[in-house]
Structure 1
Amino acid sequence: MTNTAKANARQAGPAVTFGLLAAWALHDVEELAMLPGWLRRNTPVLRERFPVVPEAVWRRAGSMEGREFAVAVGLVGAVVATVSAAGHATGGRSAVYQTALNGFGLHGLVHLAQAAAVRGYTPGAATSPVLVVPFTLWARGRLRRAGVLRPTRPRDVALGLGFAAATAVASHAVARRVLGGR
């Protein structure tokens, strides 16, 4: 690491950059523990409550194995570790780190919206209001004070959501492939 990169890394701090990885890991422990069983118990009720959702989505949700989800979470973890390291190496200036940070926070809001839609608990909803959203707001504030985060534009929101969605979809596709599924 060059002296400039070291100075930049100190500017935003490892709590901001590698904190993304730590916050993600804690959040995903909840999802790993809760999602497979929650889907098995709730898919039939959700299928009746939300009939406009395509049948293929319900079949996929009801048939997801814990192993597939665990492999997908591991793959997302590799992505988050990589973007956290990029954020650290650039003092928080990395565009991909900032996009992932935005995506993490926005995905926390999606969890809360899902819980509101089903009028109850959904996996990820417990840690989103106490960890995901607060960490994202704190980290963005630190980056802003360090002078490395520009004001948020609608494009940044779209990129963050797109990054989170693409990472999730790709991780599940790879997990199915690795485990020999369709």
Structure 2
Amino acid sequence: MKPTTAISLGLFAAWAVHDAEELVTMAPTSRRVFRQLPDFLPIPQSLRERGLSQKHVNVSLGLMAVPVALSAVAGVKTNGKSPWFRGGLLAFGVHGFTHLLSSVATRSYTTGVATAPVVVLPYWFIARRVLQQHGVEGSTRGVIATALAAIPLTAGVHVISAALLREDSLGPARELDNRFAPRRPKQC
């Protein structure tokens, strides 16, 4: 297998491993994280109070799998030269840093932070190096534009999930024991 094929397929593989963590942790952590976000952010009160449901997470991750898989296929077909693949790669790598920053900002576990430093970022660094070794240009305007398109794509995935699920998109109305709540140090 050519190195460019391996890293192209690796995008979907790394995404799948990373999103397995998100599949398990996003719903239970979302309520706490949404409550900690600044009030000026336009987040509906119901979402702040209830977070995301597991159904919403399942649908959203399923929807996002499509463009990620197609991006990986574009990379295979073009030996990593496709702006769609390279933009997806850039977006995936940068988003790994957002997971780290969100945990620092909340001073607690946030979904995706466990696999960001051990899967997302190492894969991204290796893939970039392999592309450079095979003469593939870095981040051109088209690549950056494609990566930036991941922002409205992600928002759109969540909007579609919410529209499909309606009330089932929100987490439970009652307070649940949160396995992922930050632990407070014991006072002496």
TM bracket (short chain): 0.7 to 0.9
Q: Which residue of 1 aligns with 2:28?
A: 37
Q: Is the 8 A contact 1:83 1:96 kept in 2?
A: yes
AA matched with 2:156: A
Q: How many residues are matched?
A: 167
Pairing 1:20–2:7 present: no
The 2-side partners of 1:55 and 1:178 are apart by 19
Shift of 1:55: 5.2
CA deviation after TM superposition for structure 1 residue 66, in Å: 1.1
Task: Work out which of the residue numbers 138, 144, 159 in structure 2 matches 1:151.
Answer: 138
Aligned amino acid, residue 138 of structure 2: P
- Contact 2:80/2:86 (8 A) holds in 1: yes
The CA deviation at 1:104 is: 0.2
Deviation at 1:54, TM superposition (A): 4.1
Residue 109 of structure 1 and its aligned partner are, at CA, apart by 0.6
Counterparts of 2:107 and 2:41 in 1: how far apart (Å)?
17
- Alignment match, 2:160: 174
Q: 1:90-149: CA deviations, max 9, x gaps?
A: 00010010000000001111111111111121000111011101101100110110011x
Question: RMSD between aligned alpha carbons?
Answer: 2.3
CA distance in 1 between counterparts of 2:166 and 2:33 reads 26
Matched, 1:87 2:78: no
Compare the two structures and name the one with the higher helix fraction. 1
Deviation, 1:43, is 4.2
User: Where does structure 2 lack aligned partners over 5 or more consecutive residues?
Assistant: 170-188
- Is the contact made by 1:86 and 1:97 (CA closer than 8 Å) also made in structure 2? yes
Correspondence for 1:60: 47
Question: For residues 158 and 95 of structure 1, do their structure 2 counterparts lie closer, same or farther at Cα, with a shift above 3 Å needed?
Answer: closer
**What's the CA shift for 1:24?**
0.2
Which residue number in structure 2 is paired with residue 99 of structure 1? 87
**Partner SS state of residue 149, structure 2:** helix
- The CA deviation at 1:18 is 0.7
> TM (normalized to structure 2)?
0.78
- Between the aligned partners of 1:41 and 1:175, the Cα distance in structure 2 is 20
Match for residue 150 of structure 2?
164
Please list the CA deviations of residues 40-77 of structure 1 after superposition, one character each: whole Å capped at 9, or x if unmatched.
Answer: 34544x15xx3444452x53253421111111101111
Separation (CA, whole Å) in 1 of partners of 2:104 and 2:145: 22
Identity of aligned residues (%): 31
Query: Relative to structure 2, which stretch is displaced further, 172-181 or 138-147?
Result: 172-181
Determine helix, strand or coil for the equivalent of 1:13. Answer: helix
Which ranges of structure 1 fall in alignment gaps of 5 or more residues? Answer: 1-8
Equivalent position to 1:132, from 114, 120, 131: 120
Q: CA deviation at 1:87?
A: 0.6
